């Protein structure tokens, strides 16, 4: 059954007429053309699909689209504002905190949610918050440094 | 590699026809002649002239474009190759455009693997850029009526010494030209002292796209009318389909069902509906009885690989045995390993006007173009493969079966089709790192010198097993081809996994070395230095030890320090680790890794360092946790919940050193540092506890078992 779902997507009011049990990931990627959010496993094990709903990082591959009703959704496409990159994006670029880049959107969104709730996380808080986001290339060291670099400022 | 059979292409264009297609400007065509095997693979590239396999173009607007069949999968060559071209040519890095992995635009390339891009492609590219600069100087000399020794190149323009007004940009020089040079021999390239862009670490060219979500991977291509396909899969490799019923799926709104030539699929414009439709397909399979499983595989390997290729023969093994004060005989085992890139195998195919266009996340656009052409019955020139960014490869994306499936389905349905493997499919169809067994018989004399080395590797291949210790009586026997070469024996596909075979060989060799050092009661670093005169190996061992703050002690010292070293892709690397070990749980934590690597001239130091860090972090997985469970052709490990990849909480302090050696050209960087990690950690466990583990991964259960003795 299709249902009307209204929410804010990257700051813009958005209305959808979709089956509410579809997963947010696929609605973003197919209906809305926002392909920065990635499919990696479909079972919440890798974090490549992480987006922020309200202030929470969620795994969009297992997040029914009806649960965004009335909420603010931020995806990687909404992390920069008016062409100005978020400090996390700047730091990731500066330190080379990525290789293939496929997990990067999820890493950034997960780190963004962490900093929303805890602007000055300790190293161990960063590691704990990021632990369920997987990176196969092994950019972990630089990702931690990048988040630390932003939280220090 | 298996790709070879696809390399011959009968209907290649003549060079003059190809040149006609290129338009105006200056072209330098070049081939990779430094490495005969690569050059041989590059010849006869589909639909391209046979005598070059890359080119560099200076367009009439001055734009510089490098066309290469190599691809970017995170290793950073998009940036480092551009640095090489820019520096030799005399233009800013930003003015280089890299076109990679496009089979219509780029000449043939066998694939991006083996840490070969910087090693073999780089020097040819540099020569081409230097040649282009020479052509531009010739043109400038003519137009300015100035001898060449009065000209210099700066930032995309030719300047005249002593005349500030005389200046011709590359665009002005290229305008109205149609100059084609085939690079013969090598142009004079810059010495390290002359580098201005090479040897530095500019921001990666892919950085902005990758942090903004704009970087496109194969699955991000959007084509109107595209259908997502989900394909019926067997429960096990070797299973045969007995009956299939697609009626329920076919009734679902908007679902297209295909059942043709063994390909059963449900397609829909919404991938979730396609998945539900596939769930509604009923199938009966005949599954063969399993012949082997993850427990019996090692004996199975020894039984099935009986033919040896001998190499590295020196001296007389009997004599070596006589010289020995102690003899050591051990067997080492490493299981199948999965690549598990975060981007699963993905492709999109569109067929229009008798031409197939296929976007693939692959390391081998050209071999896969050929496979697609054969599968859909097209002439190869009518198949166009494009390679967007690849979300991790590690050897697992040389084959692209999903692209063949997408192309077949596009042909059958008449619609553009995307095939993205689910994570379970990614495990099931992975070309696993082959399981391997190594048996070593070695000996040391009374002075602690290695006098005997009888090395036998089964199934996983000989890479990085060549002897660099000074052993008078030595042999290497390789049973089986390694990688994908023995498909009749393995119950499923195997293939190249980052430094194929090398982590297996180095785990075995460097464990054995440590065992001998411990018996001799000699510090493991000192034992290695005592037994190798190879100056490159000594340089990395000493550099790592210095950085680590190594203090001499025979193992087990209870400190939990481990050392290992190896050679891969002509690069030397030594790693020293410090671990902590919880005896109750058996859990090992790697606290610190110091790695020293000597890789000749370094084109991009940060890029090389990222590869080292990546190798070490990824290497924690094969060392501590990664293991493919299976029963015959049934892959039991099909999820990231059961195949545990390294995570942030595993992250050790990683310190890397690039040992300078500008005397030799650039060597491989993508793989070497993954090679010694398994042995270094196994040796650290021994150092901490006196317990030796002979099988990877070093899981808590194995640690506890080893502690019991």
Rounded CA gap, B116 and B293, in Å? 35
Report how far apart the first and last C-alpha atoms of chain A are (Å, whole number).
48
CB atoms under 10 Å from CB of B16, counted, come to 9
Percent of chain B with pLDDT over 90: 83
What pLDDT is recorded for position B1? 29
What pLDDT is recorded for position B25? 84
What pLDDT is recorded for position B6? 32
Residue B42 clears pLDDT 60, i.e. is over it: no
Rounded CA gap, A80 and B440, in Å? 57
Mean pLDDT of B463-490: 88
Q: Are B339 and B347 in contact (CB under 8 A)?
A: no
CB atoms under 10 Å from CB of B534, counted, come to 17
Residue B158 clears pLDDT 70, i.e. is over it: yes
CB atoms under 10 Å from CB of B351, counted, come to 23
For B104-118, give the DSSP string.
Answer: TTS-----S-TT-II
Selecting from A76, A96, A144 the residue whose C-beta is nearest the C-beta of B212 gives A76
- B390 near A CB under 8 A: yes
Q: What is the largest CA-CA distance in chain B?
A: 85
Most B CBs within 10 A among A83, A100, A144, hence the mutation to make, goes to A100
Mean pLDDT of B688-703: 98
Q: Which of B589, B342, B430, B497 is nearest to A139 (CA)?
A: B342
Q: How far is CA B360 from CA B54, B108, B343, B363, in A?
A: 20, 16, 11, 9
Q: Which two tokens stand for residue B530?
A: 């005592």
Whether residue A26 and residue B270 make contact (CB cut-off 8 A), yes or no, is yes
Kindly report, residue by residue over B522-558, the tens digit of the pLDDT.
Answer: 999 999 999 999 999 999 999 999 999 999 999 999 9
For B647-688, give the DSSP string.
Answer: -GGGPPEEEEEE---TTS-----SSGGGSSHHHHHHHHHHHH
Q: Are residues B415 and B445 in the same domain?
A: no
Sign of CA dihedral A20, A26, A30, A34: positive
Q: Which CATH superfamily is domain A2-78 in?
A: Beta-grasp domain (3.10.20.30)
- B73 near A CB under 8 A: yes
Q: How many residues does chain B have?
A: 709
Name the most confidently modeled range: B121-125, B163-167, B420-424: B420-424
Q: Are residues B332 and B344 in the same domain?
A: no
Residues facing residue B147 across a β-bridge:
none
Q: Are residues B440 and B523 in the same domain?
A: yes
Q: Are B239 and B285 in contact (CB under 8 A)?
A: yes
Whether residue B618 and residue A138 make contact (CB cut-off 8 A), yes or no, is yes
Percent of chain A with pLDDT over 70: 100
Q: Are residues B375 and B513 in the same domain?
A: no
pTM over 0.90: yes
Residue B51 clears pLDDT 60, i.e. is over it: no
CA atoms within 13 A on the CB side of B134: 15
What pLDDT is recorded for position B128? 87
What pLDDT is recorded for position B140? 94
Q: Are A128 and B649 in contact (CB under 8 A)?
A: yes
What pLDDT is recorded for position B320? 98
Residue B573: φ, ψ to 5°: -145, 140
Residue B386 clears pLDDT 50, i.e. is over it: yes
Q: What is the CATH number of the domain that holds B262?
A: 3.30.365.10
What pLDDT is recorded for position B10? 35
Selecting from B392, B613, B641 the residue whose C-beta is nearest the C-beta of A100 gives B392
Q: Which of B293, B297, B290 is nearest to B333 (CA)?
A: B297
- B153 near A CB under 8 A: no
Residue B37 clears pLDDT 80, i.e. is over it: no
Q: Are residues B538 and B393 in the same domain?
A: no
- Smallest CA–CA separation between A99 and chain B, in Å? 4
Task: Identify the weakest region by mean pLDDT among A22-26, B149-153, B174-178, B227-231.
Answer: B174-178
Mean pLDDT of B651-669: 97
Whether residue A89 and residue B654 make contact (CB cut-off 8 A), yes or no, is no
Contacts of A39 in chain B (CB under 8 A): 219, 344, 420
Q: Are B574 and B541 in contact (CB under 8 A)?
A: yes
Give the three-class secondary structure for B305: coil
Rounded CA gap, B208 and B205, in Å? 7
Q: Are residues B173 and B318 in the same domain?
A: no
Mean pLDDT of B421-432: 98
Rounded CA gap, B220 and B212, in Å? 14
Whether residue B212 and residue A94 make contact (CB cut-off 8 A), yes or no, is no
Helix (H) or strand (E) holding B18: helix B15-21
Mean pLDDT of B653-676: 97
What pLDDT is recorded for position B488? 77
Q: Are residues B234 and B130 in the same domain?
A: no
Residue B211 lies in a domain: no
Residue B291 lies in a domain: no
Residue B120 clears pLDDT 90, i.e. is over it: no
Rounded CA gap, B435 and B461, in Å? 10
Q: How many residues does chain A have?
A: 153
Q: Which of B424, B435, B490, B492 is nearest to B637 (CA)?
A: B424
Where residue B46 falls among pLDDT bands split at 50, 70, 90? very low
Sign of CA dihedral B275, A24, A69, A59: positive
- B98 near A CB under 8 A: no
- B289 near A CB under 8 A: no
Q: Are residues B26 and B92 in the same domain?
A: yes
Q: How far is CA B465 from CA B171, B346, B514, B566, in A?
A: 51, 35, 16, 9
Residue B31 clears pLDDT 70, i.e. is over it: no
Whether residue B211 and residue A43 make contact (CB cut-off 8 A), yes or no, is no
What pLDDT is recorded for position B225? 96
**Helix A123-130, helix A104-117: angle, nearest 10:** 130
What pLDDT is recorded for position B187? 79
Q: Are residues B417 and B517 in the same domain?
A: no
- A36 near B CB under 8 A: yes
What pLDDT is recorded for position B61? 85
Residue B285: φ, ψ to 5°: -125, 150
Selecting from B211, B342, B422 the residue whose C-beta is nearest the C-beta of A136 gives B342
Count of structural domains within chain B: 3
Residues 120-139 of A with CB under 8 A from B: 126-128, 130-139
Percentages of chain A per state (helix, strand, coil), in multiples of 5: 40, 20, 40
Rounded CA gap, B196 and B139, in Å? 24
- Smallest CA–CA separation between A153 and chain B, in Å? 20
Residues 407-436 of B with CB under 8 A from A: 420, 422-423
Kindly report, residue by residue over B128-146, the tens digit of the pLDDT.
Answer: 899 899 989 999 999 999 9
Rounded CA gap, B398 and B1, in Å? 10
Residue B527: φ, ψ to 5°: -60, -45
What pLDDT is recorded for position B369? 96
Residue B188 lies in a domain: yes
- A148 near B CB under 8 A: no
Contacts of A75 in chain B (CB under 8 A): 213
Kindly report, residue by residue over B351-362, the tens digit of the pLDDT.
Answer: 999 999 999 999
Whether residue B272 and residue A41 make contact (CB cut-off 8 A), yes or no, is no
Among the four given CATH numbers 1.10.150.120, 2.60.40.10, 1.20.120.160, 3.40.50.300, the one describing domain A87-152: 1.10.150.120
Pairing of strands B587-598, B653-658: parallel
What pLDDT is recorded for position B486? 64
Q: Are residues B137 and B257 in the same domain?
A: no
- B342 near A CB under 8 A: yes
What pLDDT is recorded for position B116? 85
What pLDDT is recorded for position B36? 46
The overall average pLDDT reported for chain A is: 97
Q: Which two tokens stand for residue B219?
A: 């699955």
Where residue B164 falls among pLDDT bands split at 50, 70, 90? confident
What pLDDT is recorded for position B124? 84
Q: Which two tokens stand for residue B14?
A: 């003549």
Q: Are residues B18 and B95 in the same domain?
A: yes
Residue B116, domain extent: 2-206
- Residue B572 is given by DSSP the state E
Rounded CA gap, A138 and A141, in Å? 8
Print the SS3 string covering B307-363.
CEEEEEEECCHHHHHHHCCEEEEEEEEECCECCCCCCCCEEEEEEECCEEEEEECCC
Residues facing residue B575 across a β-bridge:
B564, B595
Most B CBs within 10 A among A22, A140, A144, A147, hence the mutation to make, goes to A140
CB atoms under 10 Å from CB of B700, counted, come to 16
- A115 near B CB under 8 A: no
Whether residue B610 and residue A99 make contact (CB cut-off 8 A), yes or no, is yes
- B144 near A CB under 8 A: no
- A81 near B CB under 8 A: no
Cβ within 8 Å of residue B238, ≥6 positions away: B287, B288, B491, B632, B633
Q: Are B180 and B173 in contact (CB under 8 A)?
A: no
Q: Are B697 and B623 in contact (CB under 8 A)?
A: yes
Q: Are B219 and A35 in contact (CB under 8 A)?
A: yes
What pLDDT is recorded for position B485? 60
Where residue B321 falls among pLDDT bands split at 50, 70, 90? very high
Residue B44 clears pLDDT 70, i.e. is over it: no
Kindly report, residue by residue over A118-149, the tens digit of the pLDDT.
Answer: 999 999 999 999 999 999 999 999 999 999 99
Residue B452 lies in a domain: yes
The overall average pLDDT reported for chain B is: 92
Rounded CA gap, B341 and B490, in Å? 22
Task: Identify the weakest region by mean pLDDT among A85-94, B97-106, B392-401.
Answer: B97-106
The domain spans of chain A are 2-78, 87-152
Whether residue A108 and residue B340 make contact (CB cut-off 8 A), yes or no, is no
Residues facing residue A81 across a β-bridge:
A84
What pLDDT is recorded for position B110? 86
What pLDDT is recorded for position B183? 72
Kindly report, residue by residue over A33-70, the tens digit of the pLDDT.
Answer: 999 999 999 999 999 999 999 999 999 999 999 999 99
Most B CBs within 10 A among A46, A97, A99, A148, hence the mutation to make, goes to A99
Give the three-class secondary structure for B563: strand
Kindly report, residue by residue over B8-30, the tens digit of the pLDDT.
Answer: 333 445 555 666 666 778 888 77
Pairing of strands B436-444, B417-420: unpaired
Whether residue B211 and residue A131 make contact (CB cut-off 8 A), yes or no, is no
Most B CBs within 10 A among A19, A41, A102, hence the mutation to make, goes to A102
- A85 near B CB under 8 A: yes
For B159-220, give the DSSP string.
Answer: EETTEEEEEEEHHHHHTT-EEEEE--S------GGG-SSTTS-PPPTTHHHHHHT---BGGG
Q: Are residues B399 and B534 in the same domain?
A: no
- A64 near B CB under 8 A: no
- A45 near B CB under 8 A: yes
Residue B503: φ, ψ to 5°: -60, -30
Q: How many helices (H) and strands (E) does chain A have?
A: 5, 5
What pLDDT is recorded for position B4? 30
- Smallest CA–CA separation between A105 and chain B, in Å? 6
ipTM for this prediction: 0.98
Selecting from A23, A102, A143 the residue whose C-beta is nearest the C-beta of B342 gives A102
Whether residue A104 and residue B211 make contact (CB cut-off 8 A), yes or no, is yes
Using left for φ > 0, alpha for ψ between -120 and 50, and beta otherwise, residue B74 falls in left
């Amino acid at each position: 059954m299709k249902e009307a779902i209204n929410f804010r997507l990257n700051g813009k009011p958005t209305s959808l007429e979709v089956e509410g049990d579809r997963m947010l990931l696929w609605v973003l990627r197919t209906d809305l053309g926002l392909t920065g959010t990635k499919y990696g496993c479909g079972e919440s094990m890798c974090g490549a699909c992480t987006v922020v709903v309200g202030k929470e990082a969620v795994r969009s591959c297992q997040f029914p689209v009806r649960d965004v009703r009335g909420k603010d959704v931020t995806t990687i496409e909404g992390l920069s504002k008016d062409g100005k990159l978020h400090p996390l994006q700047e730091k990731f670029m500066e330190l080379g905190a990525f290789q293939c880049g496929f997990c990067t959107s999820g890493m950034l969104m997960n780190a963004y949610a962490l900093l929303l709730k805890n602007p000055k996380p300790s190293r161990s808080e960063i590691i704990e918050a990021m632990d369920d986001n997987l990176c196969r290339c092994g950019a972990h060291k630089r990702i931690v440094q990048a988040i630390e670099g932003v939280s220090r400022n | 590699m298996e790709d070879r059979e696809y390399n011959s292409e009968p209907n290649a264009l003549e060079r003059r026809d190809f040149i006609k297609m290129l338009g105006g400007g200056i072209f330098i065509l070049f081939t990779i002649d430094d490495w005969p095997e690569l050059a041989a693979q590059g010849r006869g590239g589909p639909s391209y002239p046979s005598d070059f396999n890359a080119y560099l173009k200076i367009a009439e607007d001055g734009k510089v474009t490098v066309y290469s069949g190599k691809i970017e999968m995170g290793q950073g060559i998009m940036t480092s190759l551009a640095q090489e071209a820019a520096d030799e040519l005399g233009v800013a890095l930003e003015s280089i455009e890299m076109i990679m992995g496009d089979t219509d635009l780029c000449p043939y390339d066998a694939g991006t693997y083996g840490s070969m891009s910087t090693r073999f492609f780089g020097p040819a590219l540099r020569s081409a850029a230097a040649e282009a600069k020479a052509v531009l100087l010739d043109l400038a000399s003519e137009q300015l009526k100035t001898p060449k020794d009065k000209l210099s190149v700066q930032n995309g323009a030719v300047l005249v010494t002593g005349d500030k007004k005389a200046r011709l940009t590359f665009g002005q020089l290229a305008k109205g030209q149609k100059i084609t040079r085939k690079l013969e021999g090598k142009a004079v390239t810059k010495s390290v002292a002359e580098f201005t862009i090479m040897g530095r670490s500019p921001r990666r060219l892919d950085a902005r796209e990758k942090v903004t979500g704009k970087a496109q991977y194969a699955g991000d291509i959007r084509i109107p009318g595209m259908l997502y396909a989900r394909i019926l899969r067997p429960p096990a490799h070797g299973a045969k389909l007995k009956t299939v019923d697609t009626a329920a799926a076919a009734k679902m709104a908007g679902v297209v069902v295909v059942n043709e030539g063994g390909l059963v699929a449900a397609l829909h414009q919404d991938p979730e509906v396609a998945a539900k439709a596939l769930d509604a397909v009923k199938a009966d399979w005949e599954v063969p009885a399993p012949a082997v499983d993850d427990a019996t595989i090692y004996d199975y390997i020894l039984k099935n690989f009986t033919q040896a290729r001998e190499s590295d023969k020196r001296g007389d093994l009997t004599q070596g045995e006589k010289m020995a004060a102690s003899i050591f005989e051990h067997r080492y085992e490493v299981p199948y390993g999965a690549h598990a890139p975060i981007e699963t195998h993905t492709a999109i195919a569109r067929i229009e006007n008798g031409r197939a266009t296929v976007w693939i996340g692959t390391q081998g656009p050209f071999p896969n173009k050929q496979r697609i052409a054969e599968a859909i019955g097209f002439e190869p020139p009518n198949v166009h493969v494009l390679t967007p960014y690849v979300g991790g490869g590690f050897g697992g994306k040389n084959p692209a079966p999903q692209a063949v499936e997408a192309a077949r389905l596009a042909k059958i349905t008449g619609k553009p089709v995307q095939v993205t493997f689910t994570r379970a499919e990614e495990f099931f169809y992975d070309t696993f790192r082959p399981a391997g067994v190594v048996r070593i018989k070695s000996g040391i004399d009374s002075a602690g010198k290695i006098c005997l080395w009888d090395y036998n590797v089964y199934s996983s291949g000989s890479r990085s097993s060549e002897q660099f210790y000074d052993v008078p009586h030595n042999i290497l026997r390789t049973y089986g081809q390694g990688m994908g070469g023995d498909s009749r024996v393995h119950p499923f596909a195997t293939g190249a996994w980052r430094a194929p075979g090398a982590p297996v060989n180095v785990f075995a060799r460097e464990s054995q070395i440590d065992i001998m050092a411990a018996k001799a009661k000699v510090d493991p670093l000192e034992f290695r230095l005592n037994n190798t005169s190879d100056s490159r190996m000594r340089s990395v061992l000493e550099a790592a030890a210095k950085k680590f703050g190594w203090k001499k002690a025979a193992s087990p010292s209870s400190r939990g320090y481990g050392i290992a070293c190896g050679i891969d892709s002509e690069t030397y690397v030594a790693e020293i680790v410090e671990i902590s070990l919880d005896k109750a749980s058996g859990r090992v934590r790697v606290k610190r890794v110091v790695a020293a690597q000597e890789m000749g001239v370094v084109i991009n130091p940060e890029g090389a360092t990222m590869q080292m860090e990546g190798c070490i972090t990824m290497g924690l997985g094969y060392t501590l946790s990664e293991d493919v469970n299976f029963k015959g052709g049934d892959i039991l490990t099909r999820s990231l919940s059961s195949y545990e990849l390294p995570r942030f909480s595993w992250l050790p302090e990683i310190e890397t050193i690039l040992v300078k050696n500008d005397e030799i050209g650039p060597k491989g960087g993508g793989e070497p540092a993954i090679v010694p990690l398994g042995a270094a950690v196994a040796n650290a466990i021994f150092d901490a506890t006196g317990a030796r583990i002979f099988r990877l991964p070093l899981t808590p259960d194995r640690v506890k078992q080893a502690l019991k003795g």
